C-alpha cells in the first residue's frame, strides 16, 4: 500500500509539473493576443493584461492598411517556403542514402566534404557576388529557393537515421531485384518519415522567418517576403511615433507601437502554428531517431 501511495503521489506531482509547464507556454501566447487587441493608451496606463482593458483593432488596421501588399507577401512566402522545403527534403533524403551505405567507395570523401561545409563558409560578400553577379538570382523567386537547400547538419542527421535501419531489409530487397532508387524511395525514405518530417518542419520554419534574403537581394515590392514587409511596416510605425513625440504631427495622437508589435507577431506566426499539429506526431520521434548513432 505504501508503494502504491508513493507511486500515486509521484504521478500527481508529475502531472502538476507538466500542467505548470503547459501554463507557462500558453499564458504568454494569450498575453500576446490580448496586447494586440488592446488600445495603446490603455496599454500605457494599465500595462499588459490577459483580458484587454480597452478593446481595439487599431494595430491590425495598421498591419492590413495595404491588404494587397501583405497578401502578396503571404503568397510569395508560402510559395518559396513550400517549394524549398520539398526540394530540400527530397535532395537531402536522396543524398543521405549512398552516404549511409557501408559499401559506397566515395563515402569518406563526401562525408568529409559535407563536414567541411558545415565548419567553414565563404562569407556574406562572396555569397552576394555569386548570387547577384554570376547566378543572377536577385529579384527572382529562385533566390529564396536555391541557396541553402542542403544543410550539412540535417544531412548528417538523416544519414544517421538511415544507418539505424536493419541492413537485412535492404539486402532482402536487392535479392528480390530492387534497384538502389527503388530501395531509397520505396523502403528507406518511407521508414524514415519521422526524421524527414521533423527536418522538413524545421526547414519550413527557417524559410518562413527569413527576412535577410529580401533585404539583400530583393528590390521589387512584389517579391518581398512576409517577415521583411512586416519589418518595414514596423520601422514606419516607429518613425511616425518619433515624429509625433517631436511635435511634427498632431499633438496627443498615440500610435499603437506596442500592440502593433504583437499584432505583427501573430500575423507572421499564425500559419506556422496551424501547420505544426500536422508535424507534431513526427517531431519528437524524428529528432530522437536521428540522434541514436554517430
Domain boundaries along the sequence of the chain: 2-36, 66-290
C-alpha cell, 190: 518511407
Q: Are 198 and 283 in contact (CB under 8 A)?
A: yes
Neighbours of 4 (CB within 10 A): 8
Three-state DSSP class for residue 23: helix
- Return the bridge partners of 55, or none: 38
Q: Are 40 and 254 in contact (CB under 8 A)?
A: yes
pLDDT in tens, the chain (294 residues): 666 677 777 788 888 988 898 888 888 888 888 888 888 777 777 777 888 888 888 888 877 777 788 888 889 999 999 999 999 999 999 999 998 888 788 888 888 888 888 888 778 888 889 899 899 999 999 999 998 888 888 898 899 888 888 888 888 888 888 888 898 898 899 888 888 988 888 898 889 888 889 999 998 888 988 888 888 877 776 766 666 666 665 544 555 667 777 887 788 777 777 777 766 666 555 555 544 444
C-alpha cell, 261: 508589435
Q: Are 111 and 99 in contact (CB under 8 A)?
A: yes
- Cα separation, 80 vs 13, whole angstroms: 46
pTM listed for this prediction = 0.77
| CATH T-level fold of 66-290 | MetI-like fold (1.10.3720)
Amino acid at each position: 500500500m505504501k508503494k502504491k501511495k508513493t507511486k500515486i503521489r509521484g504521478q500527481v506531482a508529475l502531472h502538476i509539473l507538466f500542467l505548470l509547464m503547459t501554463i507557462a507556454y500558453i499564458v504568454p501566447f494569450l498575453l500576446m493576443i490580448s496586447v494586440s487587441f488592446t488600445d495603446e493608451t490603455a496599454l500605457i496606463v494599465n500595462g499588459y493584461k490577459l483580458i484587454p482593458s480597452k478593446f481595439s483593432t487599431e494595430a491590425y488596421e495598421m498591419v492590413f492598411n495595404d491588404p494587397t501588399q501583405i497578401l502578396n507577401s503571404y503568397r510569395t512566402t508560402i510559395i518559396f517556403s513550400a517549394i524549398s522545403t520539398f526540394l530540400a527534403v527530397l535532395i537531402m533524403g536522396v543524398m543521405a542514402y549512398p552516404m549511409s551505405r557501408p559499401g559506397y567507395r566515395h563515402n569518406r570523401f563526401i562525408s568529409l566534404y559535407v563536414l567541411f561545409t558545415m565548419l567553414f563558409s565563404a562569407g556574406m560578400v562572396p555569397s552576394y557576388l555569386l548570387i547577384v553577379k554570376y547566378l543572377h538570382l536577385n529579384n527572382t523567386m529562385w533566390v529564396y529557393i536555391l541557396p541553402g537547400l542542403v544543410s550539412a547538419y540535417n544531412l548528417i542527421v538523416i544519414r544517421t537515421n538511415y544507418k539505424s535501419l536493419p541492413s537485412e531489409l535492404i539486402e532482402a530487397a536487392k535479392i528480390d531485384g530492387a534497384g538502389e532508387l527503388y530501395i531509397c524511395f520505396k523502403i528507406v525514405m518511407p521508414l524514415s518519415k519521422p526524421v524527414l518530417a521533423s527536418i522538413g518542419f524545421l526547414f519550413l520554419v527557417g524559410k518562413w522567418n527569413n527576412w535577410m534574403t529580401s533585404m539583400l537581394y530583393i528590390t521589387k515590392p512584389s517579391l518581398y517576403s512576409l517577415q521583411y514587409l512586416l519589418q518595414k511596416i514596423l520601422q514606419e510605425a516607429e518613425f511616425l511615433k518619433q515624429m509625433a513625440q517631436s511635435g511634427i504631427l498632431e499633438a496627443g495622437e498615440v500610435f499603437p507601437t506596442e500592440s502593433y508589435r504583437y499584432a505583427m507577431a501573430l500575423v507572421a506566426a499564425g500559419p506556422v502554428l496551424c501547420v505544426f499539429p500536422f508535424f507534431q506526431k513526427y517531431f519528437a520521434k524524428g529528432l530522437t531517431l536521428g540522434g541514436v548513432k554517430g
